Amino acid sequence: MDNNNQQTNNEQVPTIQPQQTPAIQPATQELPQNDTAPQQSNSNVYKWITLIVVLILIIGLGLFFIKSNLINNNSQQNKERSTKALISPTTFVSAQKNFGFNYLQMLNKLEPNKSIIISPFSIETALAMVYAGSEKETKQEIAKVMGLSNPNSEKLNTEIKEILTSLNKSKGATVEIANSFWGAKRIDFNKAYVDTLVNNYEAKIKSVDFGDPKTKDLINKWVSDKTHQKIPKIIDETKAGQIIALINAVYFNGDWQDPFKPTSTKEKDFTNSAGKVIKTQTMVASRNFDYYENDDLQMLTMPYKNQNIKATILLPKNESATSFLSDLTETNWKKWNDNLANKEGILELPKFELNYSRDMLDDLKMLGMKKSTIDADFNPMFVKPPTLPVAISKAIHKTFMRMDEKGTEAAAVTYIGIDVTSMPGGESEKPFEMIVNKPYIIALTDETTDSMLFLGIIQDPTEK
């Protein structure tokens, strides 16, 4: 054993001091001439062998625990990284739900007895692109309408980027999110703002002449392409005074993880919100579902092949779907979802295909975006702000949804136009039965990001 190795061993096992012992002697040296010497020598050898074995075991166990600790730490870090996209976008996700629940209640009051489908995700994303280019009072009122608590533009943009990345990577179902910015050729736009739209919203940047009638056709074609022709047109015209159009498009097409059997679909009664009994093509399934029930409602979810995305059906028991909307809050939504349990039961659910369109401009004003629609602070959008007032002049939301035995196809578009303007003045042990034969609430959500892609109230499944 050379000096270097001896030094290394001494450093590894500082408690063991080198000893001089007659048990380890040169081979040429004579052994002591007494009867006990061989026994003592053997005993010493056995002790050293035992000591060496013990040391090897101690060192081995030490290395094992060190390695295990490193593996556990790495595993925990990997787990945290893998769940980052799920747990970080809380501000925007919470805003989506609060806005969606509140806006659906508002629309139901404005259009009673009408089936309504909206995309909270689409509307909030379009508003977020406007929010990114606003400041001062305008920024504050947009944040309030969106439902943002402690708004922070940089954080919001980062959260949306994470959500878009996750949704656009969905497997098993088609989920496509597209954003675009259309700017007037005559205007110099702030590069920092445009870069934010490109880097965080994956927006396509278009330079156009809004005074040219062909611009309307270009915009409508983009919308039609991004929604797979389910929403073929979003606007009827563009005008020379317009300087910006911000557009979000959402498209979803997913097959049920467990499809309904077409042979089980039967014509059944459905009592619409007006109290009239109508006939609807109703899908029927008897199997296990994730299900929750209390004194006020029945709730059921059905996954698509993607598994992260699911459809949720809420059926009020004792009150109308319209009255029940007031109970639709983020807190209740979470509580109900947390209580879902896999149960055997029977579901009867009407097939439907619905188109919905809404001019949102007056709605945004009612919700609190007043300055944004009169004289907005959109200076961060421009290199040199226009001399005349700038304001949101158009806000349109369109949706489509078809639900049948195979699955669901849905699309949504939110269009926001900005112009230069003149200054104006309980659980059951038995298999449950959920017979959806009256108005109900429906939602499509993504579990990975917790985003609410679509939300609606179906008053009449035969309504087109």
Asked if pLDDT for residue 67 goes beyond 80, the answer is: no
Considering 81, 114, 138, which residue would you say is the last residue of a domain? Answer: 81
Asked if pLDDT for residue 17 goes beyond 70, the answer is: no
Q: Assess whether 235 and 377 both reside in one domain.
A: yes
Predicted local distance difference test score (pLDDT) of residue 297? 94
Split at pLDDT 50, 70, 90, the class of 43 is low
Which of 95-104, 120-129, 319-328, 352-361 shows the lowest per-residue confidence on average (mean pLDDT)?
319-328
Q: Assess whether 232 and 121 both reside in one domain.
A: yes
- Residue 47 to residue 460: CA distance in whole angstroms: 90
Q: Assess whether 215 and 72 both reside in one domain.
A: no
* Residue carrying the six token digits 């101690």: 58
Can you give the CATH number for the domain in which 405 is found?
3.30.497.10
Question: Whose CA is closest to 38, among 22, 15, 50?
Answer: 22
Q: Assess whether 64 and 172 both reside in one domain.
A: no
Residues near 347 by beta carbon (within 8 Å), at least 6 away in sequence:
283, 284, 285, 286, 289, 300, 313, 434, 436
Tell me the percentage of the chain whose pLDDT exceeds 70: 79
Q: Assess whether 170 and 210 both reside in one domain.
A: yes
Taking only the tens place, the pLDDT of each residue in 184-210 is: 999 999 999 999 999 999 999 999 999
- Mean pLDDT value across residues 151-161: 86
Asked if pLDDT for residue 37 goes beyond 50, the answer is: no
Q: Assess whether 110 and 248 both reside in one domain.
A: yes
Q: Assess whether 120 and 241 both reside in one domain.
A: yes
Q: Assess whether 454 and 370 both reside in one domain.
A: yes
Range of the domain at 59: 38-81
Asked if pLDDT for residue 19 goes beyond 70, the answer is: no
Residue 283 counted as domain residue: no
Asked if pLDDT for residue 21 goes beyond 90, the answer is: no
Residue 146 counted as domain residue: yes
Residue 159 counted as domain residue: yes
Taking only the tens place, the pLDDT of each residue in 371-425 is: 999 999 999 999 988 888 999 999 999 999 999 999 999 999 999 999 997 644 4
Asked if pLDDT for residue 129 goes beyond 50, the answer is: yes
Predicted local distance difference test score (pLDDT) of residue 286? 95
Predicted local distance difference test score (pLDDT) of residue 29? 39
Split at pLDDT 50, 70, 90, the class of 146 is very high
Predicted local distance difference test score (pLDDT) of residue 308? 85
- Mean pLDDT value across residues 209-218: 96
Q: Assess whether 75 and 136 both reside in one domain.
A: no
Predicted local distance difference test score (pLDDT) of residue 22? 38
SS (H, E, C) the chain: CCHHHHHHHHHHCCCCCCCCCCCCCCCCCCCCCCCCHHHHHHHHHHHHHHHHHHHHHHHHHHHHHHHHHHHHHHHHHHHHHHCHHHHCCHHHHHHHHHHHHHHHHHHHHHCCCCCEEECHHHHHHHHHHHHCCCCHHHHHHHHHHHCCCCCCHHHHHHHHHHHHHHHCCCCCCEEEEEEEEEEECCCCECHHHHHHHHHHHCCEEEEECCCCHHHHHHHHHHHHHHCCCCCCCCCCCCCCCEEEEEEEEEEEEEEECCCCCHHHCEEEEEECCCCCEEEEEEEEEEEEEEEEECCCEEEEEEEECCCCEEEEEEEECCCCHHHHHHHCCHHHHHHHHHCCEEEEEEEEEECEEEEEEEECHHHHHHHCCCHHHCCCCCHHHECCCCCCCEEEEEEEEEEEEEECCCEEEEEEEEEEEEEECCCCCCCCCCCEEEECCCCEEEEEEECCCCEEEEEEEECCCCCC
Predicted local distance difference test score (pLDDT) of residue 121? 96
Q: What is the mean pLDDT of the chain?
A: 83
- 407 or 62, which is more confident: 407
Q: Assess whether 118 and 147 both reside in one domain.
A: yes
Considering 53, 81, 109, which residue would you say is the last residue of a domain? Answer: 81
- Mean pLDDT value across residues 17-37: 40
Split at pLDDT 50, 70, 90, the class of 41 is low
Residue 446 counted as domain residue: yes
Predicted local distance difference test score (pLDDT) of residue 328? 92
State the total domains in the chain: 2
C-alpha 157 chain-centroid distance: 14
Region for residue 275 given its phi and psi (left: phi exceeds 0; alpha: psi -120 to 50; beta: otherwise): left
Residue 442 counted as domain residue: yes
Considering 52, 81, 110, which residue would you say is the last residue of a domain? Answer: 81
Asked if pLDDT for residue 287 goes beyond 90, the answer is: yes
- 378 or 68, which is more confident: 378
Q: What is the pTM of this model?
A: 0.78
- 300 or 14, which is more confident: 300
Taking only the tens place, the pLDDT of each residue in 70-128 is: 434 433 433 333 333 333 335 888 899 999 999 999 999 999 999 999 999 999 999 99
Asked if pLDDT for residue 337 goes beyond 70, the answer is: yes
Residue 275 counted as domain residue: no
- 290 or 25, which is more confident: 290
Residue 31 counted as domain residue: no
Taking only the tens place, the pLDDT of each residue in 243-263 is: 999 999 999 999 999 999 999
Q: Assess whether 138 and 237 both reside in one domain.
A: yes
- 153 or 233, which is more confident: 233
Q: Assess whether 136 and 245 both reside in one domain.
A: yes
Residue 284 counted as domain residue: no
